[in-house]
Chains A and B, each alone.
Chain A
Amino acid sequence: MRMFRTLRTAFRALRRNTLRAALTTLGIVIGIAAVIAMMEIGNGSSSAIRRTIESMGANILLIMPGQAASGGVSFGAGSIMTLTAADAEAVARDCPALGVVAPVVRVRTQVVYGHNNWVPMSIYGTTPDFLEVRDWTNLDEGGPFSEQDVRNASKVCLLGQTLVRELFAGESPVGKEVRVQSVSFKVVGVLSRKGANMMGQDQDDILLAPWTTIKYRVSGTSATTVNQSASSASSTVNSLNQLYPGAAGGLYPVPSTTQAADTPLPVRFANVDQLMAAANSQEEIPAAIEQMTDVLHERHRIKPGQPDDFIIRDMTEMTKALSSTTVLMTKLLLCVAMISLVVGGVGIMNIMLVSVTERTREIGLRMAVGARPRDILRQFLVEAVVLCLAGGTMGIGLGRASSLMVTAFLKWPTEASVPAIVAAVFVSAAVGMTFGFYPAWKASRLDPIEALRYE
């Protein structure tokens, strides 16, 4: 009730000099408008940049099989075969923070079309989800292979732009057949151009096929586990072969020639070289890592305290580097906007001081008829806060309008930010309090006798 009355008194006092009140608030209007516009532009560009980063694969997680070690010698990542396509499915099913998961089988070999040949950087055997993980779902031509193709180990593939350039020289590759190590693959689609990645590797130098096809028809074994010494063991003598684990040699009894001819090996290793997963967003990467670790611990029966048989990697550094730039820019702009707010606040203080001097007699009179110093303090403080809040409200409108105009004319991305608006209201009230306090305090300390006599 009393507050309401004070508010009305403040409005009445401000109405007595509308033009001055309006001009005084201009500083706050501009300051708040600048803050709002900066926040919206900053938010817009940082989410645009975030989208770009995500398309570059910043929220991708790599799950590699762990390292085998023997006698203190480590054999490098992938030297034990623990990850399977079933792991990929389980991880995709049980980790809410993960969007999609794709198993990857790698080989490195020659691709032939007609009389052209090329050894692409990567030949990946995977599932259609891979395209989603890498944000590569827009194909230039044709379509992706299907889950059905994966189950059937169909001989179909997708080609990257570099491969198309090297092998097809202007022809459309879709529907043609390329040979990968004497296995012939039908090209069903062409990937869009991605260019080099952060490390300068050509990402378009790639062939994608169902992982089953690559694993069982092309490589026969996991690429990284092709131990050069083991593969050469059949033709040359390698005495070290007994010391280091080779391919399947140590695990199963070597069948006799007759046995091998009579019974084709029924065991099919379903291990893959790595899993590639995409977290739903950058923020969920830590949660995704945790959930994946739990799921894999359970599936691989790793007890607490035992070493993991897998390694999870994320692109933290890349994400940090890129997002810190936008955060820095937004903060910088915000600082500039804050300075204009402070300038606006000083303007308010200035005018309130003038107003106190001008209304000395009014203050004296109010004190004579019974206003306590705190009543006077409150009255002037409320006046300053009302001025600033009015300025803040107009500033929010102006800021929204200008960020909309920036989007309309400059095509910059902007994003409305509710926290910024809420903050603007509080900041303008705080500016009113801060800069209105000194004049109000000065007014409340006036001596009524002096004030009444003031000319």
Chain B
Amino acid sequence: MELMKITDVYKTYDLGDIKVPVLKGVSLTIATGEMVALMGVSGSGKSTLMNILGCLDRPTSGSYWLDGQEVSALSIDKRALVRNAKIGFVFQSFNLLARTSALENVAMPLSYTAVDMSEREGRKRAAEMLKRMGLGDRMDHEPSQLSGGQQQRVAIARALVNHPPLLLADEPTGNLDSRTSQEVLQMFQQLNTAEGITVILVTHDPDVARHAKRVIHIKDGVIEADAAAAAVLAGAHAGGAQP
């Protein structure tokens, strides 16, 4: 079953006199339960595509269906609701609220949920999430009292607290050492296989991309390669080797 489908998406930034085309006709389908890595060097349009997939931005033209809903034409408020209910974000720099306990950080998105939830229920759900991330004993710690890996796990718990079908991770291991990176990536894999959550990893690192089942390579605003991880990565390596 397909979770998202973008068709012929263009994105052009209008800088007054000149128009800068960033995405030039991207079409892409991702099914529920996939684990996809979105790769590309900086300036390739990878971040723009991610923003559009994350409903943070609207394409200049083209359509975007997410979970059976056309979201490319939605208003700002409606897109906020879509983000809240259907997409979990994980960022490179964790983006946790300072001087706020892990539990409250995780419960934060619930306060923007359209369906009102009681305070106690919200905290219970947040606590459950943290336990699942193996942070049951760190709920009252503030971000400054947690290690990088723990912070990123708090961020993942926050992304999952509303049970979204899609998890969008933007360079989730960029600020972590290799050992904790492995832990975090394994956590994504486990979420993907055990719970069927669709994961999109945005990265430029082939080692991170290797954890995905499918790799989409973006270059100059178009999809250059879209295949099983091994094939694309091998191709990329081969391409990189040949001048």
Contacts and interface: CB of A to CB of B under 8 A. Distances in A.
Interface of A: 1-2, 5-6, 9, 12, 16, 361-362, 364-375, 448-449, 452
B95 A365 contact: yes
B104 interface: yes
A373 B77 contact: yes
Contacts of A5: 111, 119
Contacts of A373: 76-77, 80
Contacts of A375: 80, 112
Given A9-B111, A16-B98, A448-B56, A370 B81 contact: yes
B158 interface: yes
Query: Which 3 residue pairs are nearest across A and B when measured between Cβ atoms?
Result: A370-B84, A369-B109, A370-B112
A448 B58 CA distance: 12
A336 B51 CA distance: 52
Given A362-B97, A368-B83, A1 B77 contact: no
B116 A372 contact: no
Residue from the set A1, A373, A452 with the largest chain B CB neighbour count within 10 Å: A452
Given A2-B116, A365-B97, A370-B113, 4 more contacts: A16-B99, A361-B95, A370-B84, A449-B57
Contact of A369 (B77, B83, B100): B83
A374 B98 CA distance: 23
A5 to B, nearest CB: 5
Contacts of A361: 95
Contact of B56 (A16, A368, A371): A368
A365 B88 CA distance: 11
A389 B8 CA distance: 53
B170 to A, nearest CB: 9
16 contacts: A2-B116, A6-B111, A12-B104, A365-B91, A365-B95, A366-B108, A367-B56, A367-B80, A369-B89, A369-B159, A370-B85, A372-B76, A372-B80, A373-B76, A373-B77, A449-B57
B164 to A, nearest CB: 10
Nearest to A17: B99
Interface of B: 51, 54, 56-57, 76-77, 80-81, 83-85, 89, 91, 95, 97-100, 104, 108-109, 111-113, 116, 119, 158-159, 162
Contacts of A16: 98-100
**Interface class of chain A by DSSP:** helix
Contacts, number: 62
Contacts of A374: 77
Nearest to A369: B109
A371 B116 contact: no
A449 B56 contact: yes
A370 B51 contact: no
A452 B95 contact: yes
A369 B84 contact: yes
A372 B109 contact: no
Nearest to B155: A365
Residue from the set A2, A367, A370 with the largest chain B CB neighbour count within 10 Å: A370
B224 to A, nearest CB: 24
A371 B100 contact: no
A12 B95 contact: no
B95 A370 contact: no
A171 to B, nearest CB: 87
A95 B91 CA distance: 82
Residue from the set A5, A367, A368, A448 with the largest chain B CB neighbour count within 10 Å: A368
Contacts of B57: 449
Contacts of A9: 111
Nearest to A362: B97
Nearest to B82: A370
B184 to A, nearest CB: 19
Contacts of A364: 95
Given A5-B119, A16-B98, A448-B56, A370 B109 contact: yes
Contacts of A362: 95, 97
Contact of A12 (B84, B100, B112, B159): B100
B69 to A, nearest CB: 15
A365 B158 CA distance: 11
A449 B47 CA distance: 10
Contact of A368 (B54, B97, B119): B54
Contacts of B76: 372-373
Contacts of A367: 56, 80
Given A12-B104, A366-B112, A449-B56, A371 B51 contact: no
Contacts of B112: 366, 369-372, 375
Nearest to B100: A12
A452 B91 contact: yes
Nearest to A4: B119
A194 B112 CA distance: 74
A12 B99 CA distance: 9
Nearest to B48: A449
Given A362-B97, A365-B95, A449-B51, A1 B116 contact: yes
A368 B89 contact: yes
B225 to A, nearest CB: 26
Residue from the set B97, B98, B100, B159 with the largest chain A CB neighbour count within 10 Å: B97
Residue from the set B81, B100, B112 with the largest chain A CB neighbour count within 10 Å: B112
B48 to A, nearest CB: 9
A369 B113 CA distance: 9
Contact of A370 (B83, B104, B119): B83
